[in-house]
Structure 1
Amino acid sequence: MKNIILSVAAAFLFSISAMGQAKQPPSRPLFYSISFPNAVHHEAEVMISISKAPTGPLRFRMSRSSPGRYATHEFGKNVYNVKAINVDGKPLTVTQIEGDVYEIPFHTSTFKVSYTLFANWTDGTYAGIDPSHAHLNMPATFMWLEGAESRPVMFEFNDLEKYGWKVITQLKHENANVYSAPDFQYMMDSPTELSASKTASWEVANTDGKKQRINVSVHSNDDQSVVNSFGTMVQKVVQEHKAVFGDLPIFDYGEYTFINDVYPTNSGDGMEHRNSTIIVDGIDKIAGNELDVLGTFSHEFFHAWNVERIRPKSLEPFNFAHANMSNELWFAEGFTQYYGELILKRSNFHTLDRYQGTIAYLVSSVLTIPGASKYPATEMSRKAVFVDAGVSVDAVNYANNFLTYYNYGAAIALALDLRLRSDFNATLDDYMRAMWQAHGKAMKPYTLKDLQNVLGKLTNPKFATEFFEKYVNGIEKSDYASLLEKAGFVLRKAAPGKPWIGMSTQVIRNRSGLVGTVGDKGFPVVTSTIIGSPVYKAGIDAGDMIIKADGTDVIDGVSFTNIINTKKPGDQITLIYTNRTGTHTTKLTVEESPAFEVVSAEKAGKALTAEQITFRNNWLSSKVK
């Protein structure tokens, strides 16, 4: 094995040297070897070999952020047994100077660092190891040498035969079980699944006639026939995405891979990368769940253009030492969210009724959630450093000060698409294609001003300036009712005349936070109540226990719901509640739910005009020629 490794390393260095300038010889690669002698207990052993190390103290660290994630994550907590030895096998001093940073003050030119990794969380951000697979998100797996970010990197994945694993990754396959990355950024952007996965592949011809391979690699309990069938569905979605932009990106090494891990104990997730995406589903298998799984595939593939190549300047280069903040996630994630679902409609995987539900959800979010009425999409984007899978134990007030940039941006995309179609004889496809030409293909990171300027060229500068001032940097909302009417849809209240107090009574918990009400009488308010809602106006908030409503004992959430359902908007309910200051009485005035639904004109009993039919078809029909 050692001879194979050395020969591969030599070949790799030669290939890099051939591409570079003779006057600037490349750096020696860092070499990672990862083994799994204790996979049953979720551990891996990692060895980093360093040659031609610079003099002076060196620092190795684990990351605190990950590509596609914007909050801070303490990956260093699952690393231990950190050691170092010199070329003679003698131990070197290793000092932990921060929770995730280790310093080696004295070392030889060539030395090795080793550590144990614990990994038992399978999603797009962390890592999971057991005898069935090694699911490796690179920032959660590999320590890195500060100052060596430009060095090429090589990986040796061991124990493949022992467990019956194959390597699925966007890393370049060098030889045997050895893979490479040209530098640190590419390494961190290359998730890897080691498992007995099944793959469906096909070729796609780009606009210039050159062919590239698309792979759907699935680690699940499905038969190969299921994976093949699902791959056919993904192939249809890929073609619709290509039609939006006019051509595919040029994928490194001529391939793009969907890496999919499916198991009930997984944490559902999807994470985009330059030439691959990692999709994790917490279900039994793909069979029978194809349409639900397909939504994540659609969303993440759109990222191959939007985010991975049409990239915000605020995320370039990505900093792995702390959270990465951006004003543009409403576009990067929100517009991707819009297209992920739209593509499924254009591909005929979503019915009109289902897509109407998607539209209604977006419109209701942006028109009824308090955060959207107070803060612009840019500010919601900046909050990603706290909310994007961020973990906290203290309570937060997101119900009143946050609307996810996914929904906020998707609602903006919906409005802009309909405005372009009705006012400019253009489409959001045209806008995305213009961004692709101006910034994606040129790999020129964009700013907010760039987004506005490209829109101005497609329409006119006045419209673009006004749109961004009102709906992106401001808090005004589009007239969704009139915009949707052009496509033959009706926006209306979802529950007219029904009682609403502004608080869910479906989650039933006792005072210790356990599901059920054993030992308790009353309905506990466990989260902040929503500004402007009836329950908020009544002075009730988290920590209160509602024990009576109109003189009737509230036993649990079900009994409270039953009382509410006897009321109508405008009725009052006398509530008795307790908290640390004692027992209190208040009056709550029932209101009508502000939520909206979207229905077709036909179902609303309205005549559908020829213009509306044409508008709807142009918007929602397939674009594949």
Structure 2
Amino acid sequence: MITPVLYTIQAVQPAAHLFEVSLRLAEPDPAGQVFSLPAWIPGSYMIREFARNIVSLSAEAGGKAVPATKLDKHSWRLPAGIQGPVTLRYTVYAWDLSVRSAHLDQTHGFFNGTSVFLAAHGHEDAPHRVDIRPPKGLEDARWRVATSLPEAVGEKGAAERYGFGLYRADSYDDLIDHPVEMGTFTLGEFEACGVPHAVAITGRHDCDMGRLLADLKPVCERQIRLFGEPAPMSRYVFLTTAVGDGYGGLEHRASTALLCSRADLPHVGMDEATDGYRQFLGLCSHEYFHTWNVKRIKPAAFVPYRLAEENYTRLLWAFEGFTSYYDDLMLVRSQRIGLDDYLKLLAKTITQVHKGSGRHKQSVAESSFEAWTKYYRQDENSPNAIVSYYTKGALVALLLDLRLRAESHGARSLDTLMQALWQRHGQTGIGVAEDGIFALAAELGGEALAGWLQELVEVTAELPLEQALRRVGLKLAWELASPAPGIGVRTVAEGEMLKIANVFDGGAAQAAGLSAGDVLVAIDGLKATAGSFDKLLARRLAGDSAKIHVFRRDELMRFEVELRAPLADTAKLAVDPDARANAIALREAWLA
């Protein structure tokens, strides 16, 4: 029997944000055992150097200290010739309130395995165990544990559901794909297609758990039935942290870590769903869809993950973009939102893509490949230089879905393609080749369809949205976001200051010489603030000249800016009252 790699983890100084971790390895490499921490976490495509948060590390064997030599930014090696078990002990600083890393204080603890569990090289495929221990100094706090890690049933010290104790994983890859929340969270449970689901909410909130669970259940069931029962997980957990202002999610094989604004959660007595609640349900739907698309159906470049370096693929438009398409679509299919709400959400996505001039410079395939250096490292020029593989990828999915439906008279759709991907790749573990989506499209709709799809993702031409939407009886129109003239900037308020965050290509501000980072002081001698800026522009006409004073660094500068007419760049979708019966039938089948 293979001896498991055994970890313990404990919050030893919650006020100092410190976890203490130990790793016991029964049979170290006699040539010198190497340990390392991942440099990135799957689903978030950026090198994050998690090892920088290891505060101290020591090793011992046979009751004696042994040196652990650091090899590089995230790796250590023990001396050759060590016999018998070795134990590493190290502390991890955890103060990143996000879904990607680890966070600890007196109110709760959260961690992803990629932030706290060193990998023992050569033993990644061995079974792993982790003993999650109660926090020191908070014995009376009545903390519980929420995670999709299975309890080590039948083993000494096995945890009970939601309790501290021993948990199991089949491998290191399995171990690091189940985040853990500990604290006094609110807990709710439901079943979807026979699979137990749990929602754990950390942070102060007034969530109507009954409504949230009732809304999540049909969304989950629609997704399970899309790919086919049984679901690929035996249990699923939504780990949610509610804060004053926040948004984010990260997928895992049987759970998701979510960050949301507490105001976005439903409250008792809320009649109609708010925009914030619809956004939160969409986030839950998005991360849940990843259970199939990217956690099990993966690009070949991710099989296996290489967690010490970037893993490049041009396919994120399909794995993130298609997921972004289905997240809101599943809300309308499960009747959590109506047609009007769905059209508003889809119009918002169209608007987001259309307003960024970066769509003319970067294809969605290039955006996927350059996620590591561009999408996840955005700066003030990003709207002018890049396109999102989330939003444009979602529109590519829409176009592919509607064309498949129209040309097959409803016999095939993007659902058909996703089901084929699940059967050929998700259930087999075989990664999707870089041209795999195009090849499958050719099978479903012919070479012309595959060539058309490849052109959508490889070039920067405008997407043929109007024609596609007409096929399902919808009309796309373009409206003004505001009747006021503009200068082509996005501003952010920082305390009393109003700062230019982005200067858009081809706008009046760029032509006049204004730059991102400039602090707006006055327009025509009147103080510019977050509350007054738009109002001051609204009192002008296109063609007027405005004198704008800014601070650039510590220097006061003056610019003459010619105001320009606003652009009709905001999408609006509506049902076409003159649509033919076949278009209406396609629309109903698409959304049903």
TM-score bracket for this pair, using the shorter chain length: 0.7 to 0.9
CA–CA distance in structure 2, aligned partners of residues 548 and 265 of structure 1 = 31
1:454 is displaced (CA, Å) by: 0.7
Query: In 2 relative to 1, CA 304–547 (structure 1 residues): closer, same or farther, beyond 3 Å?
Result: closer
1:461 aligns with 2:436: no
Shift of 1:443: 2.1
Q: Distance in 1 between matches of 2:115 and 2:17?
A: 14
Asked whether the equivalents of residues 150 and 184 of structure 1 are also in contact (C-alpha less than 8 Å), the reply is yes
Matched with 1:541 is 515
Q: Distance in 2 between matches of 1:388 and 1:185?
A: 26
Match of 1:300 in 2: 287
The residue type paired with residue 199 of structure 2 is V
Which residue in 2 is equivalent to 1:173?
Answer: 151
Q: SS state of the match for residue 384, structure 1?
A: coil
CA shift digits 1:64-109 (9 cap, x unpaired): 101211101121222112111222x221123334343333225443
Structure 1 residue 436 corresponds to structure 2 residue 436: no
| Match of residue 44 from structure 1 | 19
TM-score by length of 2: 0.87
Q: Report SS of the residue matched to 1:82.
A: strand
Are 1:398 and 2:377 matched, yes or no? Answer: no
* Partner residue, 2:257: 278
Q: Secondary structure at the match of 2:197?
A: strand
Matched, 1:227 2:209: yes
Q: CA deviation at 1:199?
A: 4.3
One-letter amino acid of the structure 2 residue matched with residue 298 of structure 1? S
Residue 485 of structure 1, CA deviation = 2.7
State how far apart, in whole Å, the 1-side matches of 2:134 and 2:10 are: 6
Could you tell me how far 1:516 is from its partner in structure 2? 0.9
Q: Does 1:383 align with 2:381?
A: no
- Contact 2:349 2:391 (C-alpha < 8 Å) held by counterparts: yes
- Does residue 468 of structure 2 align to residue 480 of structure 1? no
Shift of 1:51: 1.1
SS in 2 for 1:477: coil
In the alignment, the residues of structure 1 paired with residue 548 and residue 97 of structure 2 have an alpha-carbon distance, to the nearest angstrom, of 45
Aligned to 1:515: 495
Structure 2 CA distance for aligned equivalents of residues 505 and 433 of structure 1: 41
| Matching residue of 2:564 | 590
Alpha-carbon distance, 1:456 to partner = 0.9
Question: 1:158: which partner in 2?
Answer: 133
Conservation of the 8 A alpha-carbon contact between 2:481 and 2:569 = no
What residue number does 2:357 align with? 370
Q: Which moves more between the two structures, 285-294 or 90-99?
A: 285-294
8 A Cα contact 1:166 1:195, kept in partner: yes
Are residues 537 and 195 of structure 1, via their aligned partners in 2, closer, same or farther at CA, if it must alter by over 3 Å? same
Cα deviation for residue 63 of structure 1 reads 1.8
Partner of residue 192, structure 1: 180
What is the correspondence of 1:338-353 to structure 2 with a 5 Å cutoff? 338-353=325-340
Pair 1:424-2:408 in alignment: yes
CA contact (8 A) 1:262 1:286 kept: no
Counterpart for residue 311 of structure 2: 324
**In the alignment, residue 536 of structure 1 is paired with which amino acid?**
Q
Q: Equivalent residues in 2 for 1:119-138 (5 A)?
A: 119-138=94-113
| Shift of residue 127, structure 1, vs aligned partner | 1.0
Choose from 567, 584, 587 the match for 1:613.
584
Q: Which ranges in structure 2 are unaligned for 5 or more consecutive residues?
A: 153-157, 160-164, 268-275
Gaps of at least 5 residues in structure 1 are 1-12, 14-25, 206-210, 509-513, 518-522
Letter aligned with residue 573 of structure 1: S
Shift in alpha-carbon separation, 1:59–1:577, aligned structure 2, 3 A:
same
Q: Kindly indicate whether the alpha-carbon contact (under 8 Å) linking 1:567 and 1:590 is maintained by their aligned counterparts in 2.
A: no
- Deviation string, structure 1 residues 331-364 (Cα, Å, up to 9, x no partner): 1011101100111112222233322222112222
Q: Percent identity?
A: 23
Say whether the 8 Å CA contact 1:152–1:184 is kept in structure 2: yes
Deviation of 1:260 after TM superposition, in Å, equals: 1.9
1:378 Cα offset (Å)? 0.8
Q: Deviation string for 1:491-519 (max 9, x for gaps)?
A: 222218823435346523xxxxx4214xx
CA distance 1:563–1:169, shift in 2 (3 Å): closer
Taking a change above 3 Å as real, the CA distance of residues 538 and 415 of structure 1, as seen in their structure-2 partners, is farther
Name the amino acid aligned to 1:530: F
Q: Which residue of 1 aligns with 2:228?
A: 246
SS of equivalent to 1:349: coil
Matches within 5 A, 1:182-221: 182-205=170-193, 211-219=194-202
Distance 1:428 1:191, change over 3 A: same
Of 73, 78, 91 in structure 2, the residue corresponding to residue 104 of structure 1 is 78
Structure 1 contact 306–336 (Cα < 8 Å) conserved:
yes
- Name the CA distance, whole Å, in 2 between partners of 1:478 and 1:376: 11
Aligned partner of residue 372 in structure 2, secondary structure: helix
- Give the letter aligned to residue 237 of structure 1: V
* Aligned residue pair count: 566
Letter in 2 for 1:400: N
* Counterpart among 254, 261, 266 of residue 240 in structure 2: 261
Q: In structure 2, do the counterparts of structure 1 residues 191 and 388 end up closer, same or farther at CA, with 3 Å as the change threshold?
A: farther
Secondary structure of the equivalent of 2:243?
coil
Q: Tell me how far apart the structure 2 counterparts of residues 118 and 266 of structure 1 sit (CA, whole Å).
A: 24
- 2:405 alignment partner AA: R
- Which stretch has the larger CA shift, 233-242 or 365-374? 365-374
What amino acid sits opposite 1:315 in the alignment?
F
CA distance 1:405–1:471, shift in 2 (3 Å): same
Inter-partner Cα distance in structure 2 for 1:121 and 1:502:
37
* Separation in structure 2 between the aligned mates of residue 327 and residue 502 of structure 1, nearest angstrom: 35
Shift of the 114–368 alpha-carbon distance from structure 1 to 2, 3 Å rule, reads: same
Give the SS at the match of 2:97: coil
CA distance in 2, matches of 1:344, 1:292: 10
The CA distance in 2 between the partners of 1:497 and 1:69, in whole Å, is 35
Q: Provide the rounded CA distance (Å) in 2 between the counterparts of 1:305 and 1:354.
A: 26
Alignment partner, residue 29 of structure 2: 54
Cα displacement (A) at 1:563: 3.5
- Contact 1:168/1:259 (8 A) holds in 2: no
Task: Write the deviation string for residues 1-20 of structure 1: whole angstroms up to 9, x where unpaired.
Answer: xxxxxxxxxxxx4xxxxxxx
The CA deviation at 1:619 is 1.8
1:305 deviates by: 1.1
Q: How much does 1:379 deviate?
A: 0.8
Q: Is 1:564 paired with 2:537?
A: yes
> For 2:235, what is the secondary structure of its paired residue?
strand
Deviation sequence 1:105-153 (CA, Å, 0-9, x none): 2544322110112212233211122343321111112222233322221
The range that moved more, 31-40 or 559-568, is: 559-568
Post-superposition shift, 1:464?
A: 1.0
Corresponding letter in the other structure for 2:564: V
Deviation (angstroms), 1:371: 1.3
CA contact (8 A) 1:121 1:267 kept: no
Please name the residue that 1:409 is paired with. 393
Higher mean C-alpha deviation, range 585-594 or range 442-451: 585-594
The correspondence of residues 143-154 of structure 1 with structure 2, limited to 5 A, is: 143-154=118-129
Select between 368-377 and 238-247 the one with higher mean Cα deviation: 238-247
Cα offset, 1:377, TM superposition: 0.6
Q: Which moved more, 1:429-438 or 1:332-341?
A: 429-438
Please give the per-residue CA displacement for 1:162-199, whole angstroms capped at 9, x wherever unaligned: 34233332323112311111111111212122234454
Residue 101 of structure 1 aligns with an amino acid whose one-letter code is S
The residue aligned with 1:313 is 300
Instruction: Report the RMSD for the aligned CA atoms in angstroms.
Output: 2.9
Retained in 2: the 8 A contact 1:534–1:591? no
Matched position secondary structure for 1:37? strand
* 1:327 alignment partner, SS class: coil
One-letter code of the match for 1:183?
S
Alpha carbons of structure 1 residues 172 and 593: separation in structure 2 relative to 1, 3 Å? same
